Structure formats: C-alpha cells, structure tokens
C-alpha cells in the first residue's frame, strides 16, 4: 500500500465504502448477507458514476461470476489515481472460490450426514471468506480515498437488528459442533 493519502482523489464515490471491521462483523453475523449488500451497492454506485449499463442485482446474485470484473474495475480506478496499491484481484478471486466452495457443498446436504465435519468446514470457509472480502474492501476504500472506511464505520440500530439472528445462531452452532465432536470421541 502506498503511504500517500488518497483523500480528495475521487470526487464521486464509484464503489461502496465501509470500514473493514464493520464489514467483518456484519458479514460474520449475517452469514455473508451484508457483504452481498455491499457488493450490490458497489455495482449500483459504479453504474451511477460511469453510466455503464450493468445490472447490479444480477451481478450481486452471481458474485462468483462478477467478483473478478468488479475487482478489475477497482484496480483500474486505483491506477487512474496514479497511486499504488499492492493486491492481486486474481488471487483474491481464487481464495474467494476456495472459501465459498465448502459452503456450497453444505447446501447440497453434506450437513445432515457429516455434522461435525460440516461445521468445521463452515467455520473455516467462513473465516477464509471474511478475510478475502475484507482485503477486497480495503482496496475499495483505498480507491475511494477513505482507507479506514471512516465514512461508514459505525454500527447503526439497523445493523444490530440485521445481526440479531446471527448473534443468536452462532453460539448455538458452536455448542452443537463441540457437542458433536465430543460424542464422536466416545
């Protein structure tokens, strides 16, 4: 990352800014739905600023297909600002696929047959997923001149309401996983 500040570089936000900490917390407790919202908002802003005829909802519904194209646009914006940011959109896309892959398998029924293995896969892949989306968000924030995402760092009441089901579900999931592992040892 460049030590130069990017503030003032971009007049109109082209991508959705959010603090990495808020993104990680919200994505964890909403099981990735908050990231989906951020991904959608970035496409909405991109279309608004560039006039490119993209369909944000379609792109948000298929992030596996449209993640790399979004990151290429983020990278182009950074390069246009004549600043340097060290990252690899391709590597992050591949890591995203590695993180999401086990989650897709769980949706296919593995959960019922291999509960404790599925739970460990869920926790591991969710961690990889969050790490990757935070790295992507850092690049977005850099491109928008708000590296820390201070413009959108506070958790609002709506955010807390949105996270409520995750706040209730995660402890239950962890207890079930531990219980499942303990039963497996006997």
Residues 115-146: tens digit of each pLDDT: 555 555 566 667 788 899 999 999 999 999 99
Per-residue DSSP letter, 146: -
> If you search the block for the tokens 């708000």, which residue do you land on?
146
* CB-based contact 20:135 (threshold 8 Å): no
> If you search the block for the tokens 């519904």, which residue do you land on?
61
For the chain, the domains span 20-184
* CB-based contact 63:41 (threshold 8 Å): no
For the ranges 26-30, 92-96, 119-123, the lowest mean pLDDT is seen at 119-123
* CB-based contact 54:42 (threshold 8 Å): no
Q: What is the mean pLDDT of residues 151-174?
A: 88
- Asked if the model's pLDDT at residue 185 lies above 70, the reply is no
Rounded Cα gap, residues 59 and 68, in angstroms:
11
Q: Convert the pLDDT of each residue in 48-71 to its tens digit.
A: 999 999 999 999 999 989 999 999
Of residues 87 and 98, the one with the higher pLDDT is 87
Residue 121: what pLDDT? 58
Q: Which residues of 102-131 are buried (b: 16+ CB within 10 A; e: fewer)?
A: bbebbeeebeeeebbbbbebbeebbebbbe
* CB-based contact 61:76 (threshold 8 Å): no
Instruction: Look at residue 127 and give its three-state secondary structure.
Output: helix
């Amino acid at each position: 990352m460049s030590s130069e500040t990017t503030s003032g570089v971009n007049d109109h936000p082209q991508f959705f800014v959010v603090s990495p900490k808020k993104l990680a917390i919200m994505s964890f407790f909403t099981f990735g739905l908050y990231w989906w919202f951020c991904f959608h908002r970035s496409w909405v802003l991109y279309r608004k600023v560039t006039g490119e005829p993209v369909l944000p909802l379609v792109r948000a519904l298929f992030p596996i297909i449209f993640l790399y194209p979004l990151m290429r646009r983020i990278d182009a914006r950074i390069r246009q600002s004549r600043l340097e940011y060290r990252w690899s959109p391709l590597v992050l896309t591949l890591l995203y696929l590695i993180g999401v892959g086990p989650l897709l398998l769980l949706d296919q029924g593995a959960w019922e047959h291999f509960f404790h293995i599925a739970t460990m896969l869920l926790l591991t892949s969710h961690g990889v997923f969050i790490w990757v989306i935070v790295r992507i968000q850092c690049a977005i924030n850099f491109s928008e001149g708000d590296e820390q995402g201070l413009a959108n760092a506070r958790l609002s009441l709506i955010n807390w309401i949105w996270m409520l089901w995750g706040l209730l579900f995660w402890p239950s999931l962890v207890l079930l996983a531990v219980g499942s592992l303990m039963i497996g040892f006997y």
